[in-house]
A and B are shown apart, each in its own frame.
Chain A
């Protein structure tokens, strides 16, 4: 059995009276693609938000790479090896695709403002290296030809992919993808599924939120299902699909409507 890269232990997240996550526990193993599914408002994005430090959890614990993430600053969580995409695209529109990726890649630079100003060799070296790496990432994700275009002018599908490339720019161990296929047509979804598998094969661990069942079931090694902030299933794609509780959560069962 492989080791967990990240582990959520009894995580509860309350917003006033709303319990967005109630006592949720699961882990993501190294080099795994874990699908995270659930109906609208189930708490999926909230899982990303508590992992990346957007919200401090009400109770519970999140262990990443052997250490707790409690109270760690957001940019430091990224530096430790977690990067995410956003459900509603949040690129830096006035920057080129390449600059978007490079900005994330700056996370691990040794050189800062002063060495950049005076052009110290370390700064030049890192700048050159990251530029090449950013271009490689864009190529890898299949949007290399757009590197010089401003992010805001890119077609929708390219923007979605750029979100992934940007997150990968931060060299994460754990990549969090929040509905990367939203708005894609079936052909694009197939292509994206291949890309996600390619990402995993390149050594990343992926936690994937996705509404499209066939996509999740196809790429995930394991699937966790949330419903109203509760974990209701955590199993292989096949077993999850046949789980009566999951079917109920998705379809609703009339006699339970009380």
Chain B
């Protein structure tokens, strides 16, 4: 059977440095050019094409990469990922309206806030495993939303309005309807997140996460500080969610608790599972497909959740590891078996 993942890996590995840079630059160029494809078959009938690129697609991709660190890499079922998105967004909303700070100054603060809440949630929750962890994180996601709903300073159900757009950089202005600028901004964040995950995956942290996911007790007994690395996974996942939240708030200019429901957590989880848990390209593909299709196919947009549910059930039966599953190739397997 044709295997996309192995084919891709094969091409990549057969290239030298120059070839790889060329592939990467080419791929980034194509992805960056997507906003200009609005008039083509890619167009979305209901929503504005360029805004669909920003939200849900790019936003889903970014969040799915973040959640994948937690679920895909480390095997920790986090059902409250939306909390970090919300914390990033509310940090932007509050500081953006109450202080003179601009989006770029708030971005690191929002990330830090999300990471900090990752610790607050992770330290007690990560002592638990499996279903218990899932339930606690689920609760956390709801708590954050309910706090926002009840706290006067956060605008209760009205939320926060009049959040400023980012100030221009390098002569590029962010008008709220210049979607492609936001898209490119998110693209940069996505590339950073990919860089982070790929980098860590190949080193100690990646091995620690893998070992935890596959057999946590064995990991601990062979010297992996499992608790520490689980908290790290949470914190790094939170940082990506926080970053997405800041940009989201600075794009929609208005946020309310309704934007941060359990549904978001489930949608992002669906992207991760659908694409292929643990494989970053799979996860990205999953987020693109699940973000895009409901807007591309008109009748799907009304039944988005229903379709998601159906797709997931089908996938779990036909291809339980996702479109691009994690399983690694075995290099030089032929050579070795022949010896």
Q: A interface vs B, CB < 8 Å?
A: 52-54, 74-75, 78-79, 83-84, 86, 90-96, 99, 102-104, 106-109, 111-113, 116-117, 119, 123, 127, 145-146, 148-150, 153, 166-167, 169-170
CB within 8 Å of A: which B187-209 residues: 196, 199-200, 203-205, 207-208
- Say which one of B12-20, B36-44, B330-338 lies at the interface with A: B330-338
CB-based contact A99/B339 at 8 Å = no
Complex alpha-carbon distance, A91 and B205, angstroms: 18
B-chain residues with CB within 8 Å of residue A107 when the two chains form the complex:
222-224
Complex alpha-carbon distance, A106 and B207, angstroms: 9
What mask results when residues 197 to 232 of chain B are scored 1 for a CB within 8 Å of chain A, else 0?
001100111011011001101111111111001001
CB-based contact A127/B203 at 8 Å = yes
CB-based contact A104/B222 at 8 Å = yes
Interface of B is mostly: helix
Cβ contact of A145, chosen from B208, B218, B327, B336, cutoff 8 A: B336
Listed residue (B205, B207, B222, B327) with the most chain A CB atoms within 10 angstroms of its CB: B222
B-chain residues with CB within 8 Å of residue A150 when the two chains form the complex:
327-328, 330
Q: B interface vs A, CB < 8 Å?
A: 196, 199-200, 203-205, 207-208, 210-211, 214-215, 217-226, 229, 232, 326-328, 330-333, 336, 339
CB-based contact B221/A52 at 8 Å = yes
CB-based contact B204/A149 at 8 Å = no
A-chain residues with CB within 8 Å of residue B327 when the two chains form the complex:
94, 150
- B22 CB to nearest chain A CB (Å): 22
CB-based contact A99/B210 at 8 Å = yes
Enumerate the 7 nearest inter-chain pairs by beta-carbon distance, A residue then B residue, closest first.
A107-B223, A78-B223, A116-B203, A103-B207, A92-B214, A113-B205, A90-B218
- A-B contacts at CB below 8 angstroms, number: 109
CB-based contact A75/B226 at 8 Å = yes
Q: Which residue of B lies closest to A104 (CB)?
A: B222
Q: Which residue of A lies closest to B332 (CB)?
A: A148
B-chain residues with CB within 8 Å of residue A99 when the two chains form the complex:
207, 210
CB-based contact A79/B223 at 8 Å = yes
A-chain residues with CB within 8 Å of residue B200 when the two chains form the complex:
113, 116-117
A-chain residues with CB within 8 Å of residue B229 when the two chains form the complex:
113
CB-based contact A170/B330 at 8 Å = no
- A54 CB to nearest chain B CB (Å): 7
B-chain residues with CB within 8 Å of residue A145 when the two chains form the complex:
336, 339
CB-based contact B336/A112 at 8 Å = no
- A116 CB to nearest chain B CB (Å): 4
Q: Which residue of B lies closest to A83 (CB)?
A: B222
CB-based contact A117/B196 at 8 Å = yes
User: Assuming A94-B214, A117-B199, A149-B333, is B208 touching A54 (CB within 8 A)?
Assistant: no
User: Assuming A83-B222, A92-B215, A95-B211, is B204 touching A112 (CB within 8 A)?
Assistant: yes
- B206 CB to nearest chain A CB (Å): 8
- A160 CB to nearest chain B CB (Å): 15
CB-based contact B222/A167 at 8 Å = yes
B-chain residues with CB within 8 Å of residue A52 when the two chains form the complex:
221
9 CB contacts below 8 A, A to B, read A92-B214, A93-B214, A94-B210, A94-B214, A95-B207, A108-B223, A119-B199, A150-B328, A170-B223
A-chain residues with CB within 8 Å of residue B332 when the two chains form the complex:
148
